[in-house]
Structure 1
Amino acid sequence: MASRVVKGGHRLTEYLAASKAAEPLWGDVQKYVLDRAAGPSYRRKDVMHPSEMVKSDWCHLAAYHRLRLQVDAPGRGKTTFTRENIFQEGHQTHSKWQNWFFEMKRLAGDWYCNACDDEFWADETPEHCHLCLAPSTCLIYAEVALEAPALRIAGKADGYSPLDHALIEIKTLGLGSLRYERPEFLERYMVDTEEHGKLPDLTRLWRDFRRPLPTAVRQVQLYMYLARHFEDLDLDRCIFFYDFKPTQETKSFTVTYDESMSDPLIEAAAAIVDCLATDTPPHCNHNGRAGCVNCLEFQEPKKK
């Protein structure tokens, strides 16, 4: 059997490091996970994703080029074993909560049936497949697809509870998330220790964590906009469930719908779609004609 070819770059460095692991099984599982991550991506390339739109560095010109060329966002193919491990933990956390809501009969949305290999929407937690009548044991929750075709926006919410008139978002909170989004909050709880230098006081930090992270709030506001205007879902809020990784404690927060938070993103998406229709690139919204790091990657190299 031909040996697997691993392309150069960051993933090759990770792959070679795994090959040198002292314990063969430890090295093999790292290589397996990296190989699997290098497989084909099923993430749609013909739409703008809310998770990217709500970031502070979202570039309208880069979004235009990605839609026109139908390519992934920069860096999406780069990964590490640690990153894949974090993703997998997040998937398992989602499944845990979704299974509980399923058992409580508080979950609506899209469902995939293992028996007939098809999907269907259910306004109430189904007891069987609506297409082939297979029992609920054959069903897998496919979450809540939200799409605005005219705006070229599509995403998925973690859940929808009609009884609560709410979308559901499930999050894991680690120190890395705080370091990236709220470094000033994390720094407030760093304490000096004799043996290990500065470490976070996890008890006080978790006690004072009282609201979802800003990017998550912007994302669910956009989700709620899509749900109300394009999917005709009856909701007025989103309920967050945050699992704190260091201690496995959980907090819940409620964010009420505020359409004004999504208006600038909707206007930007409409403008990008108009630019695509006329084949006229928009200006970079971060650095004008000079461009930013995200849109400059699409710039053709200058001829010498």
Structure 2
Amino acid sequence: MATRVVKGGPQLTEYLNAAKAVEPLYGDVQKHVLDKAGGASGRRLDVMHPSEMVKSDWCHLAAFHRLRLEAEAPGRGNTTFTRENIFEEGHRTHSKWQTWLTEMGRLAGEWHCLYCGETFWADYTPPACECCTAPASCLRYDEVSLIADPVRVAGKADGYSPHDSALIEIKTLGLGSLRYERPEFLERYIVDTDKGRLPDLTRLWRDFRRPLPTAVRQVQLYMYLARHFEDLDVERTVFFYDFKSTQETKSFTVSYDESFSEPLIEAAAAIVDCLNSDTPPFCNLNGRAGCPSCLEFKENSK
């Protein structure tokens, strides 16, 4: 049997660190997860993702370089044990809510058959595989692909409820997320205790009354893709939030706003035009000087 080779980069570092773990079983688990992932992040690299486009530091030049490199050398993505662990935790939370919505018959989207390997669309919970008639127990909900081929933008919504004219987004809220996106909100609930300065989780969760800003911007772009490229009846997005610290839940609704996404789609179209003419755009964040994102490609090309 051929020896598995792990290429250099973050993937190799993570794999070697796993081999040095103090507890052998822990290291073996990490190596197993990385082997199972096959070194790939599972994230498409040949498109622009809404999650990156809605960030304030999205660099058009960096997006251009990444897409061009992917065309030249497909499959450069890598992953780490921490990233895979985060993904797995997210999948479990998604599965919980998606299972309940499936049982209610309120979930439309793509369904994957574990028996024949095919994927098909259904507007309701299918009683069997439409491709091979395997029973419903063989089916897994595969969410909702949102693809805009002309502008090379693609993402996946966690669910779609035609009955509610709504996309579904399932989120977990942790202190790390708040520390990164709303540090001023988190700081408001830090109190002195006999164990040091800690957050008052009860008050914090009580006063958490809207989705995090990045999530709101992302679903606006999702709704644009759903309406203009997938012909889905979408008027809003319903968020289901799980609070990691206490397992309490909340729901929020965000209405569709066409004006938010139009500049992003126009920017994506301009990047595609630059790819087609092989003419790099200027860095939209720092002009000719460049920003950390696009300069990273310049450094790697040396």
In the superposition, the TM-score normalised over structure 2's length comes to 0.91
The 3-state SS of whatever aligns with 2:192 is: strand
Partner of 1:142: 142
Partner of 2:60: 60
Tell me the CA shift for residue 23 of structure 1.
3.5
Q: Would the alpha carbon gap of residues 25 and 296 (structure 1) be closer, same or farther in structure 2, given more than 3 Å must change?
A: same
Tell me the CA shift for residue 271 of structure 1.
1.1
Tell me the CA shift for residue 44 of structure 1.
2.0
Tell me the CA shift for residue 86 of structure 1.
2.2
The 3-state SS of whatever aligns with 2:78 is: coil
Count of matched residue positions in the alignment of Structure 1 and Structure 2: 299
Tell me the CA shift for residue 36 of structure 1.
3.4
Partner of 2:197: 198
CA distance in 2, matches of 1:43, 1:105: 29
Tell me the CA shift for residue 260 of structure 1.
1.0
Partner of 1:227: 226
Partner of 2:214: 215
Tell me the CA shift for residue 18 of structure 1.
4.0
Q: Would the alpha carbon gap of residues 260 and 280 (structure 1) be closer, same or farther in structure 2, given more than 3 Å must change?
A: same
Partner of 2:78: 77
In the superposition, the TM-score normalised over structure 1's length comes to 0.90
Instruction: State the AA in 1 paired with 2:183.
Output: P
Tell me the CA shift for residue 264 of structure 1.
1.5
CA distance in 1, matches of 2:199, 2:181: 16
Tell me the CA shift for residue 85 of structure 1.
2.1
Partner of 1:110: 110
Tell me the CA shift for residue 10 of structure 1.
5.3
Q: Would the alpha carbon gap of residues 84 and 45 (structure 1) be closer, same or farther in structure 2, given more than 3 Å must change?
A: closer
Partner of 2:247: 248
Partner of 2:182: 182
Mapping for residues 260-279 of structure 1, pairs under 5 Å: 260-279=259-278
The 3-state SS of whatever aligns with 2:297 is: coil
CA distance in 2, matches of 1:26, 1:114: 30
CA distance in 2, matches of 1:171, 1:116: 31
Instruction: State the AA in 1 paired with 2:78.
Output: G
C-alpha contact 2:43 2:77 (8 A) present in aligned 1: no
Deviations 1:43-101 (A, max 9, x none): 222211111111221100111111122179xx96353x444322211111011111111
Tell me the CA shift for residue 15 of structure 1.
4.5
Tell me the CA shift for residue 166 of structure 1.
0.3
Q: Would the alpha carbon gap of residues 130 and 13 (structure 1) be closer, same or farther in structure 2, given more than 3 Å must change?
A: closer
Q: What CA RMSD, in Å, does the superposition of the two structures yield over aligned residues? A: 2.3
Deviations 1:99-119 (A, max 9, x none): 111111111011111222111
CA distance in 1, matches of 2:11, 2:274: 36
Tell me the CA shift for residue 216 of structure 1.
0.5
Mapping for residues 135-174 of structure 1, pairs under 5 Å: 135-174=135-174
Q: Would the alpha carbon gap of residues 21 and 271 (structure 1) be closer, same or farther in structure 2, given more than 3 Å must change?
A: closer
Tell me the CA shift for residue 4 of structure 1.
5.3
Partner of 1:298: 297
Deviations 1:119-140 (A, max 9, x none): 1111222111122222111111
CA distance in 1, matches of 2:22, 2:68: 46
CA distance in 1, matches of 2:25, 2:301: 48
The 3-state SS of whatever aligns with 1:254 is: strand
Partner of 1:94: 94
1:32 aligns with 2:13: no
CA distance in 2, matches of 1:222, 1:283: 23
C-alpha contact 2:39 2:77 (8 A) present in aligned 1: no
CA distance in 1, matches of 2:37, 2:116: 27
CA distance in 1, matches of 2:243, 2:92: 14
Tell me the CA shift for residue 7 of structure 1.
5.6
Instruction: State the AA in 2 paired with 1:232.
Output: D
Instruction: State the AA in 1 paired with 2:52.
Output: E
Tell me the CA shift for residue 19 of structure 1.
3.9
Q: Would the alpha carbon gap of residues 115 and 6 (structure 1) be closer, same or farther in structure 2, given more than 3 Å must change?
A: closer
Deviations 1:211-245 (A, max 9, x none): 00011001100000000011110110000000000
Gaps of 5+ in 1: none
Aligned identity (percent) is 76
The 3-state SS of whatever aligns with 2:167 is: strand
Instruction: State the AA in 2 paired with 1:36.
Output: K
